[in-house]
Every structure is written in C-alpha cells, then in structure tokens.
Chains A and B, each alone.
Chain A
Amino acid sequence: MFDLERAIKSWRSGLAKSPSLEDTYIAELEAVLGDEIAALVRGGMAEEEAFRQASADMGEVSTIGDEFKKVRRPGRTRFMPALIWNYLKVSGRKLKRQKAYSFVTIAGLTIGMASFLFIVLYCRFERSYDGFHRNEDRLYRVQNDRIYSARHDRSAGCTPGLGPALKEEFPEIAEFARLLNLSADSNTVSRTVGTEDNSESADRTIAFFERRIFFADPSFLRIFSFPLILGDVRAVLEEPDTAVLTESTARKYFRDENPLGQTITVTTRFGGHDYRVFGVCRDVPPNSHLRFDLLLSYRRLAALWPSTEEQPWSSNAFLTYLLLAPSVNPSALEAKFPLLVKKYSLDSAELKREFHLQPLRTIHLTSRLRFEPDVNGDIKTVRFLEIIGLFILLIAWVNAINLATTRSLQRGKEVCVRKTLGAERRQLARQFLLESVFHNVLALLLALGVVLAVLPAFSRLVGKPLLLDEFGGGWIWISLSILAGAILSGLYPAFVLSSFRPALALRGPAQGVLRGAALRKGLVLFQFATAILLIASTLIVGKQLAFMQNQDLGVDLDQTLVLKIPEVPGSDQSASLARVQMSGLASVRNAALSTSVPGREYSNAVSGIRRQSAAAEEAQQAFIIDVDDNYFQFFSIPLVCGRGFSRGYASDTGAVVINEEMVNVLGFESAEKALLQNVVLGGFGGDVVQVVGVVKNYHHLSLREKIEPVTYMPLSQPYFRRGYLLSLRIDARSIGVAISSITAKWREIFPGQPLEYSFLDDDFNSQYDIDKRFGQVFGLSSLLAILISCLGLFGLASFSAERRTREIGIRKVFGATIPEIAAMLAREFVQWVVLANLIAWPVAWVVMSRWLQRFAYRTTVGFETLAGAALLTLVIALTTVSFKAIKSAAANPVESIRCE
C-alpha cells in the first residue's frame, strides 16, 4: 500500500543530503510538491502516480541542489578557462581589424616600456658601483676635512701617516690600504724586448702612456676583490720593486708571453724605475669607483719620496681605505676619530682636521671630494632619471587607458551582444583585463627586442657598458610591476566597458562612454603637463650647455695642440728643448710650457698661503700652476698690473704671479696693492715669494666650478713638478702638415717615446661631456614622452571627431567652413595644453632652478624658455590633432549625416 507521507519524507531526506539546500528551501520545495500532488489527485490521478509525476517535474535532486548553490554564492560566476582562448582569439582579431588603434596602443606601450627599461638599466648600473667586493659592507674610505677660517676643504686624499695610525689606535679597524694616485698624462711604461736570445735584431721598446697608475699597500689586493689571475695575493706588492698589471695592460706589453717576473720601466714624476711584474689581476670592472691599470708597491715610495716617512702628517694625497672588523658600527668608530686628532696634535692654529668614513658603495654616487680618483656619478641625476622613467611608463599606460575607453564606441556593441547572450559583468571585465594584459605582454616582448637592438647605441650614448644581465634578479620585479601596471591600466577600461547597458549602448554610440570624460581629461592633462615639464627641462639643459660653451673663458684656446712631455730622465731639458725646437717649425706660431693648461686640473694646491704680514691663522688655500715665461702671452691672459715671468729677471726664481681671485683671498685691497708684496707659501716649507704680477681671472676649469685663487710659479721652481704639457699654436690652414712635422720633430727629441696630442678646445669642452650626455638622455626621454603623448592625442582626436561626425556634417550644411570646424575640434585640446602649462610651469621652475644650482656660472630658467616649451607643445599637439580634425572637417556632409 502506497504511503504518501512516507514517500514525501523520503524525497525530502534525499534533498537534505545536498549541502546547498537549507531547511527553509526544502520546506518551500516540499510545499510546492504537496500542492502539485494535491492538484493532480484532484484531477483524478492516484496518489502514487501523482507523487511520481510531481517529483519528476521538480527535477533531479542533484540538479535542484546545483541551482540553489548559485544562489548561495550570489554573483560569483565560475571562472571558465575555456573562455580564455576565446578572449585571446578576440584580442587577436581586434589586433588585425583595428590596425590603427592596435598600433597606436602597442607602439605607445612599447616605447614607454623600452624607455623605462633603458633608464632602469642605466640607473641600476650606476647604483651597482663597488658592489662586487666581497667585503663591500665593511669597506670604507676616509674623508679628510681641513677646516680653515674661510674655507672647508673636503678631500679624499689623506696624509700617509693616517692609515697606520688609525689601525694602531682602533682595534675596530681590521686592515687599511693606502693608494697614491700617480695618474698623470705624462706617465709612461715601457718594456724592452728582443735582446736576450736574438742578438741580431736591435732592441725594441714597447712604450705607452699609462694614465691610471697607483702606488698601493700590499693589503690593497687582499681587502678588495680584484682577483689575481697570475701571482700570489699574499706575496704581491710586498717587495719594493714589484708591480701588478691588469689583464689588458699585461696583454698590451707582453702579448701571449707570461709576464710574471718580467721587468717593466715605469716613468712617473718620481723618475724612471724598473719594476718586476709579480701579479696580473682581472681588469677592473666598469662599475668600480677606483680604476687602475697598474699598481706599484707602496714600499718603493719611501725611497722615492722620503718625506712620506719623515713627515707622515703632510701631503694630503693618499687615498686611505679601511676594512672594519665584522659588526663594527661605523658611526661609533667615527665618533672616536677626534681622539686621534688630539693624540697626534693634528689641529693647528690655522686649521682643524676632521675625519669621516665613507661607505664604499656610496662613493660613486654621493662623493664629490677633491682628489677623487675618477669622475663620480651623481645620485640626483640617477633619481631624476628614475622619476622620468616612471613618468614615461605612466604616460604610456595613461595612453592605453584613454585609447581603450575611447574605443568603446566599437566595443559597446560587442559588450551588448555578449551580455544579451548571458555574459556577466565580471566575465566581461575579465575579458577586457585579459586584453589589456595581452597588449602589455606583447609590448613588453617588443620592448625587449628594441632594448636588445638599441642597447649598444644606448651604451655609447651614456658612456657606460650596459648589459641586459644588469637586471639580475630584478627581472622578476620588473615583470611583476609591468604586469601590475597592465592590470591597473586595464581595470578602468574594463570597468567602464563592462558597465554598458545593452539597451543603451545598442541604441546609440556615445552613451556611457561620456561618463569617463572627467577622468580621461585628467589623464590627458597629466600627459601634457609631463610633456611640457620634460620639454622645458630639455630646453633649460640645452640653454645651460650653450651658456657654458659660449661664455667668454677669458683665455684663448683656439688652434692649440697640447702634447704631453714624457717623464724620461732629463725631461726638464728635453721639455725646454722641445719648446724651442717646436716653435721653430714653420707651421707652429707659438709655444708654451706649463704643468697645467685650461681644462685640466691644477698642478698642485698649497694649504697655507698668506701675506707675510698676516697671522698664521689667516692662511688660505690656493692652487698652483707652474708656467714658463710665455704662458700668459700664449693664452692671451691679460695682466692687470705688474709683469709676467721673464728670463731677463734673475730673481724670478722667488717670484709668483697671482690671479685676481687670489688677490681677494689674500686680503689685498687691489691688484696694485698686492704688487711686490711678499707671500708665505705654507705647504712649501714656509718659503717667502714675491708677487710680481696680477693676471685677470679666467676660467681654468669648466663653468661648473667657480674661479679659484691661483698662484702661478715660474717653471724653473724646483718645488714640485707634475709633468709638462707643451702647448703649440698651429696654423689653422695646415693642420695636417703641422702634425706631421711635429711628429717628426718629436721622434728626434724623444726617441721611442709615444706621442699623444689633443686639441685644447676639444679637451676643454670634454669637461661638459657628462652634462651633454645628461642633456642627450634627457632630450631623448622627452622626445619619447612627447611621441607617446602624441599617439594618445591622435587617438583622442580621432575619437572626438568620430563622436561629432554628425554635428560636423550639420554645421557644414549650415555653412561652416573647414577651418572653422577644424578650429572647433582643436579648441578642446588647446584648452588642455593651456591648463597643463599652468601645472607644469611652477614645477619646471622649481626643479630646474635647483638643477642649475650645481653650476657656479649658470643661466636662468627664464620665462622665454617656459613659453618656448608651451609653444612647442601647442604646435605638436595642434599638428597631431589637426591632422584628424581637417580630415573630418573636409569630409562630405552627406556621408556624415547619413546614418552609419
């Protein structure tokens, strides 16, 4: 006998097994089942049959459970992997069908990403300096501060006694290493070959100028990681007559021979001496703040320059590096340095000393001391570029966002069809996001291709050997951040597009699209403001460069050839001989001999120069150049009063000429008052010299530096010498002839010695290479940023014109002319440019004024520069926009008014 109650109960317990069915659902379903059965029974059906039919109508228990499951998790559509393929297919089709749009989007992203990658590569390289040393976190350089009453001198050069004293006083210091930089243009290294086994052939000398030579303590190679290829790190540089070469230097002199134990002759300002090669180390990596080609044993120095032992606290010329013991706190150690100053009585009436520790890794980007062994980078420039890189990437993404949202005209219909057929908003958003990621990935791959192809050229531009390996583990971060950017830049269009209501979008185009107008305008404003900022900055960098190069230096550099006189035995006589003989050549109009020429570092500095009548505390610092009797006349440096050096005066050995700045620094009221006054040279054993002349100030170094007080000493002074430079003024019309006759004469005077020459104006301008490079990188960045902005602008203009097709048609029918319509379309963009200027000007003003601060002689930001940038942006924007505007305006109104 069929029991309806029991049958329903068992049906219900079947439902209860489904986890998605709550009791209230089951109760409701049970009520429905009951009603159904009652209706069937009322229609004359037996209870059993009625139950079967009604329960079958309700459906399978599992199906019911599934349906309710969807309700329990409202809105969560399942992720359908199968759809990804469809999305990609659609993305691919869009790429093909909307060629212009896809090109603009992907090109913008590619340019943006490639620029970003380049800048990241460069900045990572700059930040990677000295990171390759095993002990990089424990290595420090000592900064030697000398504080005078009127001057604070910060120097990388310390006295020779400092390193040993520090180690002795502070157990925190595990090891020290001193280096004396011999780098000068006139050092030569030579090797004589072919004598031993082959008596028939004459001696052959291999000789080159070597710039980067250092005397180094034996500990140097042990605490730094410049690995030896040949030789024993425990033994090298221990013996006084030993040397270590880098791999390339060794190859230069020894080709494939084993250089170990061989002899080279190194000629520096200390004369020529033989050294035995005891080691060959790997070439110094390009990201080392300290670069050398040849190391000589420090132990040799005591014999060559006895005062380094006898007076360990004079001569501030020794780079001093410290290896701290593990887990030593450098600031705590630094705080103890005054004890050392006190103990060794290093302070005097005229100066106070301070020592500071510079972490090795910070030297390249933050240190700007005197006696830096190499030109350092600049952390501000690196940060500046990093910000620019980020901005370019942002501009590219903003572009992509703008283009994607404006493209919704077409996409609206696709959205509606997908929605009508059951797609949910989340699915659509996912589709558009995926499309954005697809564009970004494609652009990233292209950008990588661009980077690979252009990297060698870019490396040359920035003057750094950049490699893709530079990224190291950074790849993951870069990929992740680009992916994050792709998703972020895809979110907004995805949100806008997926929110379309099918009914509205199908009815007409622009509905819904207009909603994002405010944001889009904001984004365009951002793009323009950035572009104006970059253009203005580029113009100002260019303006400053032009200012520096066109400024009157107060000295004549034209048609001047500079020759380095090699430090051979008797080079004093040879140099004078060379001057006399070279000036006798037909193509040489004038000649002068000196230890420095404009554009090169001063020969020397004295720390205690003062009037004889002044107290010792008033001593000042000055720079020294040794010059011959023709120097001032040769370089057209006018005398303010007195005379230059002359052979006619026997007393010239005790005479000096000073510049106007030196007159001020010494405290003379005027140049005339300084004349024939006695001056004490502190650093030179307290010698008294007489001022015989005052010359006008001129720019000896670049306009970055202010004009320093300079004391010119006659070349015959025996105090200190640092290689001679022979300047020759040659005939502009016969440079080739001049050079060949000079070369021939050179061979006579300096047989076997290399001849190196350069043009002085090139040399001088090469001081601006870093600035020029900065200008180029900057200009390139702005160019790219503008290009990307223009791509976006073009897209927006197309959108704007398209949206107003009918309006344009109607206006034309009522008599509007093409220029009027083009102007109407362009007006909107002009407004943006004007507004963007309001934002960009103050920023440019502040940022670039600060940048200019680093130059002692500088131009101003200037209203006209900013106005120029504004005008340039406006012209570029209008050109881009009018291309489309004129096309739309010229279209036949019949075409545009007729519905699409």
Chain B
Amino acid sequence: MEWSSTMLYPVLRRLEKDGLVRSEWRVSDENRIRKYYVLTAQGRKELAAEKERWRSVQDALGKLWAPAEACE
C-alpha cells in the first residue's frame, strides 16, 4: 500500500468523532483557510495509555528477541 499525506485526514476525522481531538477552521496570515486540530483531555489520556501500551509491547518483544536471560 502506498502512503500519502491525505491518509492522515481520515484518521483525524475518526479521532474527532471519538472525541479525542477537536478541530476548528482559521484564516492564516496569508489569508488562507486552514483547519487546526487540538487534543482534547480525553485524547491526552488515551495518548498516554497508548504510549504505555506500546512501550510494554516493545519491552515484551525486546525481551523476546533478546538472548535468554535469567529472571529477575
């Protein structure tokens, strides 16, 4: 599958629907309209949890790949 920058936007939509981000249209200095996304409080919590989850998966996989060690 080829990745393109537009693939980000559906994900943002999804996050917004789930209440994890909030968005608003603003007019830029160059007089262009842009949509800005901000994390909501719930989004921050979810982010922290996901980071934690990812870290433990990483740890687990790290242990799995590393040569066998004695248990602590």
Contact = CB atoms under 8 A, between A and B. Distances in A.
Interface of A: 25, 27-29, 31-32, 34-35, 38, 57-60, 63-64, 67-68, 70-71, 74, 416, 420, 501-503, 506-507, 898-899
A788 B33 CA distance: 69
B32 A420 contact: no
Contact of B14 (A27, A59, A74): A74
B22 interface: no
Given A74-B14, A420-B57, A29 B71 contact: no
Contacts of A63: 2, 4, 6-7
Interface in B4-42: 4-7, 9-11, 13-14, 17-18, 30, 32-35
Given A67-B9, A416-B57, 19 more contacts: A25-B13, A27-B33, A28-B9, A29-B9, A31-B33, A31-B34, A31-B35, A32-B5, A38-B30, A59-B6, A63-B2, A63-B4, A63-B7, A70-B14, A71-B13, A71-B17, A503-B49, A503-B56, A507-B56
B71 A67 contact: no
A35 B4 contact: no
B60 interface: yes
Contacts of A32: 5-6, 9
B52 interface: yes
B53 interface: yes
Given A34-B32, A38-B30, A506-B60, A68 B13 contact: yes
Given A28-B35, A34-B32, A899-B71, A67 B57 contact: no
Nearest to B55: A503
A59 B34 contact: no
A67 B14 contact: no
B12 to A, nearest CB: 9
A567 to B, nearest CB: 92
A68 B56 CA distance: 31
A71 B11 CA distance: 7
B59 to A, nearest CB: 9
Contacts of B9: 25, 28-29, 32, 67-68
Contacts of B32: 31, 34-35, 38
Interface of B: 2, 4-7, 9-11, 13-14, 17-18, 30, 32-35, 49, 52-54, 56-57, 60, 71
Given A25-B13, A31-B34, A64 B6 contact: yes
A67 B9 CA distance: 9
Given A38-B32, A506-B56, A71 B10 contact: yes
A711 B7 CA distance: 101
6 contacts: A58-B6, A63-B4, A68-B10, A70-B14, A71-B17, A507-B56
A899 B10 CA distance: 44
List 8 A-B pairs, minimum CB-CB distance, nearest first.
A59-B4, A503-B53, A67-B10, A899-B71, A71-B13, A503-B56, A71-B10, A506-B60
A67 B56 contact: no
Contact of B53 (A38, A64, A70, A501): A501
B6 A29 contact: yes
A30 to B, nearest CB: 9
Nearest to A899: B71
Contacts of A29: 6, 9
A96 B30 CA distance: 67
Contacts of B13: 25, 68, 71
A502 B58 CA distance: 11
Contacts of A70: 10, 14
B53 A57 contact: no
A898 B72 CA distance: 10
A502 B57 contact: yes
Contact of A67 (B6, B34, B35, B52): B6
Contacts of A67: 6-7, 9-10
A131 B49 CA distance: 67
A506 B17 contact: no
Nearest to B7: A67
A57 B71 contact: no
Contact of A58 (B5, B18, B60): B5
A495 B6 CA distance: 34
Nearest to B33: A31
Nearest to B28: A35
Given A28-B9, A38-B32, A503-B52, A74 B57 contact: no
A899 B60 CA distance: 15
B14 A71 contact: yes
Given A59-B2, A898-B71, A35 B57 contact: no
B7 A503 contact: no
Contacts of B18: 74
A457 to B, nearest CB: 54
Contacts of B57: 416, 420, 502-503, 506
Contacts of A416: 57
A58 to B, nearest CB: 5
A70 B14 CA distance: 9
Contacts of B4: 57-60, 63-64
A506 B13 CA distance: 30
A503 B46 CA distance: 13
Nearest to A33: B6
In this complex, the member of B13, B17, B18, B54 whose beta carbon has the largest number of chain A beta carbons within 10 angstroms is B13
B56 A59 contact: no
A70 B34 CA distance: 23
In this complex, the member of A58, A74, A503 whose beta carbon has the largest number of chain B beta carbons within 10 angstroms is A503
A28 B32 CA distance: 11
A802 to B, nearest CB: 18
B71 A35 contact: no
Contacts of B49: 503
A67 B13 CA distance: 11
A35 B10 CA distance: 18
B10 to A, nearest CB: 4
Nearest to A27: B33
